Chain A
């Protein structure tokens, strides 16, 4: 056990000990060990011609892009039956994705397909790749996924597509050349603007605010934060100062502590925006149990189930989110429309997503679900997710 590591006695260091010469050889042998890995990397290096730099490759980057469909769309084609639709969320057992996938499940049942949800228990790109490879092996017709890393899943998505799968991303996009369609929950601009509007309204248009985000490298959150900063530059928000962005890593405990830290570091803080469901719930729990409850405004993106008690006890007046079930539902229909030939993924094509009605494909194969829903004490009890 490393814990009982032993202090090395100095006695055997005498140069005249009989083992002296052998010891002299030891460093060489040990050094070779370190060199072994280097030799292996030299092997790697020789695998390609010398001197590959970033500039060389720029032109042929797209060479590997997945099979782009040349088929023409037939808007009147019926939805194919018995489609195998697989949902691969960022992470299973995450309440948000569970609701989204259940929405997808409902859609798949409506059009008579075969639904399944697979995915890793930790939100990592490498484990998603392994699941994507599995789905390709199983000849899945439609893969609906939310990418943990837009590029890392690219190769696996493309090999699944060449095995015949149609790929729809939702919530978090993969690189556009690796998927057929992206179902966006709301435009990033809408999300950023809504949250700034909400906080401005609650703190009366001026004061210090902070953002409690997910992980420092969360794609969505970072895009929103950047847009929120731009939004704050508008003259009507001149009185609002964004003092810091804290990261709760989408962990309840960490988010709770970060909220505590924010309030002690910035005693004049008027409001907190948490654009992540885990962060918002943790911050609300901290506020409601502290002297700051009701005094410091809190808003962001949250789920009605998690926020219900805090809205009713007055800690949080309003927050926003889209309905993840609708998101999954729309993504499943989009995948089915692709697999049935109703659409090819080209801009301007339209299809009907069950009870949600008609949607039009935008630029870069993007479909937008709609503007975010605002939840307040008046309407929160109408939602259960």
Chain B
């Protein structure tokens, strides 16, 4: 198309340069999400060989149960961050939903209804974020830092320092229950199914493509006919609803509805999302990468705990991993960009700022769901 030939010269040249630099068949592993998946596999294998008690059904079950809440919240978070926004209020929304759940249970409502209400409440909390971000065009970082504090405060208003713990045993037991074999909790299976749904949404629908477009340039996306504000609003609603669901899971898993449930979880979620290769600036990242990221962090933590590595060392390891996950792709991108820009930009022409090179990396956005 004429449209293509007008714009393709630079990316094409860059692509040619990259092709010359890297061997073809190893490409998938060179992509960040592939690398995270590979790291997950290596860590799991290494732990199974080196750490006593790691490769047992019971341990895998605990590992996956510990990862469920982070994994759940990370799914919509991936989409939110891809659009260039962030939702830091997720853990507080989780806590508020948990507190409300406890309050309603004490009030004598049936648990089936409470679960639905808790998720609906989460959606409303997300809608509040969405409204501020879209209708009032406020930065989501500021809005959700505000609601992070506000929702947690509300949770304490609802339940104070009480804990509601008398949830029925069949429910708390079922939440921690596993599929036959004893290794995979059904809660993780449900999370994986949701991950597939979110993955299809992000990678297989025009809506999902639109999210990348607005992450790269919201204005251009709006001009291209993408309803940026509407999409972002619904992403925040989804983020809230999923936090509500995670709150239900958390409450039943620990058989304890408390206002401080999940405190600090937002950092684990954002860490997993970044480790999974989603750019904090938006426009880049894949859902499988994030899912691997969540599992990689959980596996590493579990294996190191079993190996009696002290908590502070453990924090240092996860922190370093996170920094590496930001630094390494950046370094690779710079290394790749240098020869490309060198050829593309003759002397005298201003060097392209890094953001404009993003379209060249569209392979990272196109992961199969």
Contact = CB atoms under 8 A, between A and B. Distances in A.
Contacts of B308: 116, 118
Interface string B96-131: 000000000110111110011011101100000000
Interface stretch (B168-176, B345-353, B359-367): B168-176
Interface residues of B, number: 101
Interface in A91-120: 92-93, 116, 118-120
A267 interface: no
Given A48-B112, A133-B62, A37 B242 contact: yes
Contacts of B122: 37
Nearest to A136: B58
> What 9 A-B pairs come out closest when comparing CB atoms?
A217-B161, A151-B165, A37-B241, A152-B254, A30-B234, A19-B225, A57-B168, A2-B141, A133-B62
Interface in A42-84: 42-45, 47-48, 50-58, 60-61, 63-64
A42 B116 contact: yes
A26 interface: yes
Interface in A1-32: 1-9, 11-12, 17, 19, 22-23, 26-27, 29-31
B169 A63 contact: yes
A207 interface: no
A121 B311 contact: yes
A222 interface: yes
A28 to B, nearest CB: 10
Nearest to A46: B112
Interface stretch (B23-31, B32-40, B259-267): B259-267
A33 B264 contact: no
Contacts of A44: 115, 190, 245, 248
Contact of A30 (B86, B112, B207): B207
Contacts of A4: 84, 139
Contacts of B4: none
B169 A38 contact: no
Interface of B is mostly: helix
Contacts of B213: none
Nearest to A153: B254
Contact of A9 (B163, B223, B259, B305): B223
B219 A9 contact: yes
Nearest to A17: B225
Interface of A: 1-9, 11-12, 17, 19, 22-23, 26-27, 29-31, 33-34, 36-38, 40-45, 47-48, 50-58, 60-61, 63-64, 92-93, 116, 118-122, 124-126, 129-131, 133-134, 136-138, 149-152, 154-155, 175, 215-218, 222
A64 B258 contact: no
A2 B84 contact: yes
B52 A138 contact: yes
Given A2-B86, A26-B230, A138-B53, A57 B311 contact: no
Contact of B110 (A40, A41, A51): A51
B168 A119 contact: no
Contacts of B222: 8-9, 11-12
Given A7-B137, A122-B264, A93 B312 contact: yes
A23 B225 contact: yes
B13 interface: no
B119 A64 contact: no
16 contacts: A2-B84, A2-B141, A3-B141, A8-B222, A38-B116, A38-B241, A41-B116, A44-B245, A51-B110, A55-B108, A93-B312, A137-B58, A137-B59, A138-B52, A151-B255, A155-B254
Given A30-B207, A52-B111, A63-B169, A137 B123 contact: no
B256 A151 contact: yes
Given A93-B311, A121-B311, 14 more contacts: A5-B137, A5-B139, A6-B217, A23-B227, A26-B207, A41-B119, A45-B115, A47-B174, A58-B166, A92-B311, A134-B306, A137-B58, A152-B163, A216-B160
Contacts of A42: 116
B260 A217 contact: yes
A30 B126 CA distance: 14
Interface in B256-308: 256, 258-264, 280-282, 301-302, 305-306, 308
Contacts of A6: 217-219
B185 interface: no
B256 A53 contact: no
B229 interface: yes
B230 A27 contact: yes
A134 B58 CA distance: 10
A48 B171 contact: yes
A75 to B, nearest CB: 34
A124 B264 contact: yes
Contacts of A38: 116, 119-120, 123, 241
